[in-house]
Amino acid sequence: MALETPYYLIDERRLLRNLKTIERIRGVSGAKFVLALKCFATWSVFGLLRQYLDGTTSSSPYEARLGREKFGKEVHAYTVAYSRKDIAAVGPIADKFIFNSLTQLRRFAGALRGRPLGLRLNPGVSTSHFDLADPARRYSRLGVTGTKALLKSLAVLSGVMFHFNCENDDFDVFSNHLDLIADAYAGILSRLEWVSLGGGLCFTKEGYPVERFAKKLREFADRFGVQVYCEPGESVVTDSAELVTSVLDIVHNKIDIAIVDASTEAHMPDLLVYRQPAKVTDGGRGRHRYMIAGRSCLAGDIFGTYRFACPLKVGSTVRFADAGGYTMVKKNWFNGLAMPAIAVKRCDGRTHVVRRFDYTDFLGSLS
């Protein structure tokens, strides 16, 4: 099916591959999995996701409402700092409320009396390749450190959350950190009903020791008699989506530069944030080398440099792989560039556009 570029293309059959892995882990571990909407919130595929996931976890009242209205099942609410307005909005929606600090817990626990309350803890260890995303970085505001003050609030808590990973594909590192957490918080964990281990674990990456991971979760749950939750985002959508673009122009400045009808700044901003190149489908071993650049005015709007089997020309298609996580939730109207449509390739092979954006959407985003 020919679609006008640029567009994000989500392949449900690839999603299903990841979901089947989660199904295996759930069966062995007894853990529950809630989708992290901060990473992926394209509700057009929630019909498939809800068959394999236990609910959603949110970072704001809007995400909590989306989880309730479009996904159903469990809704976990967490944010770094709630306002009274937030509590009023989330109160009727969420099944679990997780606070980032003891001051927030004390301030709002009364308004949520009788509801399952949790607290984010900062164990002081983490796995992140980037200081920007490291929850245990110096002066981190994410979660409660230490245990002395925490002990005084246990009576109102039913669970806690440890979100201590970011793009961690090393099972042994995760396992060692979980052991450290288990030992450091043993007296607290045994008095709780549930523990969330957050997200950031790349357990759907090829070669990941899935069975060992599942057994580790089971051992942790059994040791403390708790229901374990995981909050995957990227691992749900790994290699399931592409950003499909077309070449608009080719210029030469010591190297050939192909300019496509999309932008890192507007459509894949994490590439700039973390200074990483995009993954390109069919770009790697050919003898025709091009830098692929976006069409915005930002000088550094660069997807990366790749080799192609055939020369590129105006109208050539360039597909950026693994474009599901932190793209559609972060896309923006920088330069007023056309927003990529969102298309879904269903499990039965049919592809259709679920959302197009136009000038009225751009206009409505402004004032």
Q: At 48, which CATH number?
A: 3.20.20.10
Is 46 a domain residue? Answer: yes
Task: Identify the three-state secondary structure at position 93.
Answer: coil
Last residue of a domain, one of 297, 314, 331: 314
Is the domain of 85 the same as that of 157? yes
Do residue 169 and residue 284 come from a single domain?
Answer: no
pTM of the model: 0.95
Size (the chain), residues: 367
Shared-domain flag, residues 99 and 221: yes
Structure tokens at 185: 């918080």
Looking at the structure, tell me whether residues 225 and 280 fall in a common domain. Answer: no
In a domain, residue 155? The reply is yes
Domain that holds residue 258: 248-314
Q: What is the 3-state secondary structure (H, E, C) of 110-151?
A: HHHCCCCEEEEECCCCCECCCHHHCCCCCCCCCCECCCHHHH
Beta strands in the chain (DSSP E): 7-11, 32-36, 55-58, 74-78, 96-99, 117-120, 159-161, 194-196, 227-230, 241-252, 256-260, 279-280, 288-293, 302-308, 317-321, 341-345, 351-355
Same domain, 63 and 193: yes
- Give the whole-angstrom CA distance, residue 325 versus residue 161: 22
Would you say residue 345 lies in a domain?
no
- Interatomic CA distance for residues 239 and 250, integer angstroms: 28
Question: Tens digit of pLDDT per residue, the chain (367 long)?
Answer: 579 999 999 999 999 999 999 999 999 999 999 999 999 999 999 999 999 999 999 999 999 999 999 999 999 999 999 999 999 999 999 999 999 999 999 999 999 999 999 999 999 999 998 899 999 999 999 999 999 889 999 999 999 999 999 999 999 999 999 999 999 999 999 999 999 999 999 999 999 999 999 999 999 999 999 999 999 999 999 999 999 999 999 999 999 999 999 999 999 999 999 999 999 987 677 899 999 999 999 999 999 999 999 999 999 999 999 999 999 999 999 999 999 999 999 999 999 999 999 999 999 999 9
Domain boundary among 314, 345, 362: 314
Q: What is the bridge-based pairing of β-strands 341-345 and 317-321? A: unpaired
Query: Are 124 and 213 part of one and the same domain?
Result: yes
